[in-house]
Amino acid sequence: MYLIFAGVFIAALLISFFLTPLVIKIAAAKGFVDRPNERKMHKVPIPYGGGIAMFIAFIASASLGFAVMWIYRSEASMREILLFTAFCAGSFLAFVIGLIDDIISMPAKVKLLCQIVAVSIVMAFGVSVTFVTNPFGEGLIYFPVFVTIPLTIFWIVGIMNAVNLLDGLDGLLGGVSVISALVFFIVSCMKGQILVACMMAAIAGSALGFLKYNFNPAKIFMGDTGSLFLGMVFAIASVVGGLKTTTTVAFLIPFLIMGFPIIDTAWAIIRRASSRQPIFKPDKGHIHHRLLGLGLTQKQAVCIIYAINLCLGLIAIAICYFTV
């Protein structure tokens, strides 16, 4: 099985690595670029479209991996087929929403509504937070439908936007995605969740192949096309493989793996609410902006965040190791 995962990772890496330069040329020729302004860090127009290369790499490699696993095991349960469909459908819908937003810049409320619709479709394939472990004692806490639906929407939409907001420096989200996907992969393997492990191998390879061109100085940006699709896949993985666990302490695992985006977004909401600013209004108060304000370069700030993200991931792996 690990050979299949390795093949998925390598396939995603190669597709993303060789497809991204082509996307750069096409995006530059068509004027599909992110132009600088007072809020952005870059000084010259940078092509959008990295998310297109990553998405194609993810779908192609994940589909290949799922097909090979099916053949290898001679069967695939209906649950696995539904969850794989959820990953594909969810990532595609998030990809389309992000692509439209990159092209025409949708109003925040319209964008949020589209995300809620996308999550509702994903839930139709069985992705929902139906129970969690009791953090204060033994047993499980089951939710009624009227709690499950809004809770699942809140979690998935929240993770999508947390990941989206993190895309503020060259290579930041790409590198964090590689680290988070690898941690998710290890945890999934430890828990025997092979479908989630396959999806995470595809994400890690796709993001790593793109990172070659996105690390400072960036030659291309992933845009919302990439950040929303990444957020959707991570959110589904956390619901399928992280939140639904029978071990109390393991409930913390998805929060740790996605810890930095969650902390950064929570701080942004508190900061904007306290200053009576619209929650969705962009600003330069994120943690990575604060690091730059201390005099660090983009590369230094990004590497510090990588280290924080990795430490949180290692804690998640340790918790999984001692509780599974």
What per-residue confidence (pLDDT) applies to 268?
A: 81
Task: Enumerate residues 6+ apart whose C-beta is below 8 A from 321.
Answer: 190
Rounded Cα–Cα distance for residues 59 and 253 (Å): 26
The amino acid present at 113, given as its one-letter code, is L
- Ranges of the chain whose pLDDT falls below 50: 246-248
Residue 26: both structure tokens together:
């096409």
- pLDDT in the model for residue 263: 87
The residue type of 289 is H
Q: Say if residue 217 is preceded by a cis peptide, omega within 30 of 0.
A: yes
Burial 67-98 (b: 16+ CB within 10 A, else e): ebbeeeeeeeeeebeebbebbbbbbbbbbbbb
Q: Which stretch of DSSP H or E encloses residue 128?
A: none
- Reference 220, options 49, 55, 99; nearest CA is 49
Taking the C-alpha atoms of residue 242 and residue 91, their distance in angstroms, rounded to an integer, is 18
Nearest to 127 by CA among 235, 55, 200: 235
Give the integer Cα–Cα distance in Å for 136 and 228: 34
Beta bridge partners of 133: 140
The per-residue pLDDT for range 111-167, each reduced to its tens digit, is: 999 999 999 999 999 999 887 766 666 667 788 989 999 999 999 999 999 999 888
pLDDT digits (tens, 9 = 90+) for 45-73: 899 999 999 999 999 999 999 999 888 77
Question: 154: closest CA among 180, 123, 176?
Answer: 123
CA distance 133 to 142: 9
Concatenate the DSSP letters of all residues of 273-323 into one string: HHTT--TT---S-SHHHHHHHTT--HHHHHHHHHHHHHHHHHHHHHHHHHH
Rg (CA), the chain: 19
